[in-house]
Each structure stands twice: as structure tokens, then as C-alpha cells.
Amino acid sequence: KAGVTQTPRYLIKTRGQQVTLSCSPISGHRSVSWYQQTPGQGLQFLFEYFSETQRNKGNFPGRFSGRQFSNSRSEMNVSTLELGDSALYLCASRPRVNGELFFGEGSRLTVL
Amino acid sequence: EDQVTQSPEALRLQEGESSSLNCSYTVSGLRGLFWYRQDPGKGPEFLFTLYSAGEEKEKERLKATLTKKESFLHITAPKPEDSATYLCAVTIMKTSYDKVIFGPGTSLSVIP
């Protein structure tokens, strides 16, 4: 069974630009979550989608948004990038509520 | 406020030197506690789920235990390949969704 796939793996942007990251969950998993990971803050929850609906949202500004498609694939978008947005963005899917998370390899974003 | 802490922040062991990592939580409505392993530049990998106090799970050199306020990850006779960051996370139930809170992690180095 294929794991969680994230694209792109690495990207470099400049301040003010926007970026879109993509995530394909494990087949059959309808829940997709996004996390931001930085050395200083650890894993910070961004949002979770289930069956195309946002179920939960973390404490991030409105520049961070996401969506989920009918095939459970998800995208997250960050607009007006800031230097502090440089991080590893991780996507995770899970098979059920209160189930374990299966993470992708992440998308490493560098903002210059 | 719901909170998860881990100690120590970093741990350096000689190969074969057993030790324990701690995960303490202050939450209401605990539904499950999860342990993950994360290698540098990769997404976390699921290790164990514990649902009730007194529960124990084992996998190779790792053993996870759970009490009402904390969990321990015991590492017996570690090898260099056990070097990684170990994350714990709790799932708590909110009114209409479950919330996942990660601890900051313990960075383990096992020296040959």
C-alpha cells in the first residue's frame, strides 16, 4: 500500500510570493492533517480535513489555507510568504478518528 | 490549558545502555497517547498507541507504558540505529472533533 505522498519535496520562494503544497493520503484514508515543523516550535497543527470539510484549525494566520478534494487529496496554500514561514510542512492521514497518523516525508520550504 | 511535555530534551546513551524517555500530559478528555519516531529530514513514523492507564506495548527494544498522567518509552540495550527524535502525542475529545497535541520531542543519540 502506498504511503502518504507530498509534493514538492523542496522549494525556495521569496518574501511576498505564495506557495501551494500537495498531499495524497493513503488509499482509503479520508482524514488529512497538515503540520508545520520548525526547530524552535516543534510540530504545530495547521488544519485537518475530513471528507472535503475542514474539521479543525490551529492558531495560524489567514494566510494559511487548505482544501481537500473528493478523492481525499489535499492542498495547502500560504500567501504573502514571510521569512518565518520557512519550515518543514508535513501532511498526515489517518484511517479513523483517534487513529494513528501516517506522515509523508514533508515539503521543505525556504523563504528568502 | 491542554499541554504535553517531554523529558529530557536530549539524551545521549552508549550502545547497550538502557534508559527511559518521559511524556507528561495535562489534558482533559484523553482518548489516546501515541509515540512516534522521527529521523532527520523525514516525517514521523508511528510506533505505539496506548489508550488506558496500565497498558503496555512492546516492539523490539522499545516498550511504552501509560499512567494517568504520563507515559514512558523504555529503550533496552539501544543500538546506534535507534538514534532519532521520539515524539509523543495525545488525542483529546472536543465537542465535535478530536484534537491532537504533540510534545516537543526527545532527541536520542546512541553512541557505538
DSSP notation for B30-55: EEEEEEEEE-TTS--EEEEEE-STT-
- What pLDDT digit, counting tens, does each position of B42-73 carry? 999 999 999 999 999 999 999 999 998 999 99
- Amino acid letter, B16: G
Give the residues across from A64 on adjacent strands.
Answer: A78
Instruction: Return the C-alpha cell found at A84.
Output: 518565518
Contact A101 B91 (CB under 8 A): no
- Amino acid letter, A103: F
* Dihedrals phi, psi of B15, to nearest 5 degrees: -55, 130
Instruction: Kindly state the percentage of chain B with pLDDT values over 90.
Output: 85
Residues on chain A bordering chain B, Cβ-to-Cβ distance under 8 angstroms: 4, 33, 35, 42-43, 45, 48, 55-56, 88, 90, 92, 97-98, 100-106, 108
- What pLDDT digit, counting tens, does each position of A37-48 carry? 998 788 999 999
Residue-level pLDDT at A107: 97
Residue-level pLDDT at A98: 79
**Residue A53 to residue B92: CA distance in whole angstroms:** 20
Residue-level pLDDT at A25: 97
**Partner-chain residue, chosen from A45, A105, A106, that has the shortest CB–CB distance to B100:** A45
Does residue B80 have a pLDDT over 90? yes
Sign, CA torsion A57/A82/A5/A44: negative
The answer to whether the CB of B89 falls within 8 A of the CB of B110 is no
- State the pLDDT confidence band at A91, using cuts at 50, 70 and 90: very high
Taking CB atoms and an 8 Å cutoff, what residues of chain B touch A102? Answer: 46
Contact B98 A100 (CB under 8 A): no
Does residue A54 have a pLDDT over 80? yes
Taking CB atoms and an 8 Å cutoff, what residues of chain B touch A100? Answer: 34, 46, 49
**Partner-chain residue, chosen from B44, B99, B102, that has the shortest CB–CB distance to A56:** B99
